[in-house]
């Protein structure tokens, strides 16, 4: 595979690049899957490692991302717009069936966060959409129009670990009686009125976390069924690995990391390779703040398919 055709038309910086190469040990002529191709950063590294006779399937659930990647990666990868839980179907459709390695780098990319129209960022004034695949389901702002208060509070609590979830849910339900909460900045201001601002110092607050962060994370996870998809993929993807093939998963919050940790530990087809999650070193942390919460876990297929 030749990565020279991949243009850096992205602001996204891939996390743990050296660690992915080290623990994945992608080698010439192998078949690899990048299930969350995003800005194509990890794809480029994998394409270089597997060389011109390797095969790379690059998937993304976001059609805009997949369209961009198709233009950038056509010489190096087969790009498909689909969810990573469907890796088995996509590998079969290509006649490849199994892979030496599968990489998932969960969550959203800096490109998506920076796109004001998508509503992922509480710093934007775009519509609160937050869907990765805008051809499916409903945008967050529509869901906020009809979800009942208890479900909303539970979602914000469970997926955002937000202790002011009940207050935020109540305020959303009160506000929507008179006007829809359609814009990201509208929701941010509503949250600010429910959650105390973090102090710069203090034992119980993080100086860095904006009060809207947890609620926005919870709504994104909910509207995209992110944990449901991850659970289904964890059950399905080991069967797509070659003997000794590796599954690498990078997660960004404890809900995902916990699912990955226990699925790897409890799956009789897998052997855990990383006893503890691999995290970014000082140099990467200095250069890329997104790497702060990234955790990489790796498992190897150890049964005989």
Q: Would you tell me which residues interact with ligand SAM (CB under 6 A)?
A: 12, 14, 35-42, 59-62, 65, 83-84, 105, 107-109, 132, 229
Q: How far is the CB of 56 from ligand SAM (least distance, A)?
A: 13
Q: How far is the CB of 194 from ligand SAM (least distance, A)?
A: 28
Nearer to ligand SAM, 6 or 144 (CB): 6
CA-wise closest residue to 160 among 227, 233, 104: 227
14 vs 211 by CB, closer to ligand SAM: 14
User: 195-228 burial, b if ≥16 CB within 10 A, otherwise e?
Assistant: beeeeeeeeeeeeeebbbbbbbbbbbbbbbebbe
Pick between residue 175 and residue 293 the one whose CB is nearest to ligand SAM: 293
For residues 264 and 120, give the distance between their C-alpha atoms in angstroms, rounded to a whole number.
30
The distance of closest approach from Cβ of residue 147 to ligand SAM in the complex, given in angstroms and rounded to an integer, is 21
| 250: region left, alpha or beta (phi > 0 left; psi from -120 to 50 alpha) | beta
DSSP labels, 254-286: HHHHHHHHHHHHH-TTEEES-SS-B---HHHHH
Q: Which is nearer to ligand SAM, 65 or 191 (CB)?
A: 65
Q: Which is nearer to ligand SAM, 118 or 300 (CB)?
A: 118
Nearer to ligand SAM, 84 or 122 (CB): 84
In the bound complex, what is the minimum distance in angstroms from residue 38's beta carbon to ligand SAM? Answer: 3
Closest-by-Cβ residue to ligand SAM is 38
**Shortest CB 82 distance to ligand SAM, Å:** 7
Shortest separation between residue 45's beta carbon and ligand SAM, angstroms: 8
Q: Taking the mean position of all CA atoms in its chain, how far away is CA 286?
A: 22
Q: State the Cα–Cα distance between residues 213 and 178, nearest whole angstrom.
A: 25
């Amino acid at each position: 595979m030749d990565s020279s055709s991949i243009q850096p038309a992205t602001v996204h910086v891939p996390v743990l690049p050296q660690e992915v190469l080290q623990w994945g040990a992608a080698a010439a002529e192998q078949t690899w899957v990048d299930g969350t191709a995003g800005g194509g950063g990890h794809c480029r590294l994998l394409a270089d490692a597997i060389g011109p006779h390797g095969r790379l399937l690059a998937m993304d659930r976001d059609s805009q991302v997949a369209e961009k990647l198709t233009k950038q990666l056509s010489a190096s990868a087969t790009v498909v717009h689909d969810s990573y839980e469907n890796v088995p179907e996509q590998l079969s459709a290509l006649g490849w069936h199994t892979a030496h390695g599968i990489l998932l780098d969960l969550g959203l990319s800096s490109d998506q966060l920076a796109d004001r129209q998508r509503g992922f960022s509480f710093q934007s004034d775009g519509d609160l959409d937050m869907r990765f695949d805008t051809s499916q389901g409903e945008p967050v702002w529509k869901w906020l129009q009809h979800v009942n208060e208890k479900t909303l509070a539970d979602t914000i609590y469970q997926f955002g670990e937000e202790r002011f979830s009940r207050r935020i849910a109540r305020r959303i339900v009160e506000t929507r009686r008179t006007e829809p909460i359609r814009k990201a900045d509208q929701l941010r201001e509503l949250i600010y009125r429910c959650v105390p601002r973090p102090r710069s110092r203090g034992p119980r607050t993080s100086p860095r976390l904006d009060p809207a962060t947890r609620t926005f994370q919870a709504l994104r996870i909910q509207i995209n069924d992110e944990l449901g998809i991850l659970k289904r993929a964890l059950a399905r993807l080991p069967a797509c690995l070659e003997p000794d093939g590796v599954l690498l998963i990078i997660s960004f919050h404890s809900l995902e990391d916990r699912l990955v940790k226990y699925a790897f530990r409890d799956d009789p087809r897998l052997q855990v390779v990383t006893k503890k999650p691999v995290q970014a070193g000082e140099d990467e942390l200095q250069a890329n703040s997104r790497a702060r919460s990234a955790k990489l876990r790796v498992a190897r297929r150890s049964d005989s398919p």
